[in-house]
Amino acid sequence: MEIRKGKKRDVEGIGELLEEYPVPMEEVKKNLGAGMVYVAEEKGKIIGFADGKVQEDKAYGRILHFFVKKEYRGRGIATKLLEELKKEFKNRNIKTVSLECAIMDKKQES
């Protein structure tokens, strides 16, 4: 399993991960262009991703989306994705980062 910076060619793979979740792909594409998307890849398939952005006033950063396929959870992949985003924010001199969490319907999780 490899954690790497996302590329434009990853849009389709990220989209497949998010078919059941209300994530605007246009926002993910914009963040790819800004270098703020990281993907977890195994055997050529994207199994997780995280993206963020620096607010326009550059006062803080936001982690926007964070997802790992169900069958790969519990292996530390989300932690590794988060660490890469944290490094990216630090490289951009962002000292404060926020993360919001939506609670999904439990029926969707099963």
pTM here?
Answer: 0.83
What is the band of 105 on the pLDDT scale with cuts at 50, 70, 90? low
Domains of the chain, first to last = 2-109 (3.40.630.30)
Q: What is the pLDDT of residues 9-57, one digit of tens each?
A: 998 898 888 886 777 778 788 877 778 899 999 999 999 999 999 988 8
- Count Cβ neighbours within 10 Å for each residue of 52-91 and write b for 16 or more, e otherwise: bbbeeeeeebbbbbbbbeeeeeeeebbebbbebbeebbee
